[in-house]
Amino acid sequence: MEKLIIESPEFGNNKMIPSKFTCEGENVNPELKISGASGSVKSLVIIMDDPDAPAGTWVHWTLWNIDPEIAVIPQNSVPEGAIEGITSFRKPGYGGPCPPSGTHRYFFKLYALDTLLDIGEKATAGDIEKAMKEHILDSAELVGLYKKIK
């Protein structure tokens, strides 16, 4: 298997996320490019979280059962067949960066699995992590930074 990679044309690793993808903009997911998911990979998972949140890690987006053939997830979209889970906002879907103060780090974590996950749509990041624990073939991450403008 090639090395798994997640990147975005919207921002570089450890670079600022444009406000379009935050609570101060359109609050839509940035375009993500995925490569290296080959061979025995049956599905991909994305978990986006902020470990710098005052109350502990804040989950902004979960997406699982992504087809490993997917090379691009366009802005404001969910790949066909993929499932979005419940975030720390207590609802499914993407919730962009919106830090209360200071610059926070946002981790887009990509996992290549040897199976599809059989978990319900109300699954949280914890449920997903538990379900995929024995099935991770590879992982990669992209870190974006954001500090509120207003």
Residue 18's nearest CA partner among 120, 149, 137 is 149
pLDDT tens digits, residue range 48-60? 999 999 989 999 9
> Could you give the dihedral angle defined by the CA atoms of residues 85, 128, 46 and 34, in that order, rounded to the nearest 10 degrees?
-130
pLDDT tens digits, residue range 24-36? 999 999 999 999 9
Band (pLDDT 50/70/90 cuts) for residue 150 is confident
> In the prediction, which pLDDT does 1 show?
55
CA distance 73 to 81: 13
Mind listing the domains of the chain with CATH numbers? 5-146 (3.90.280.10)
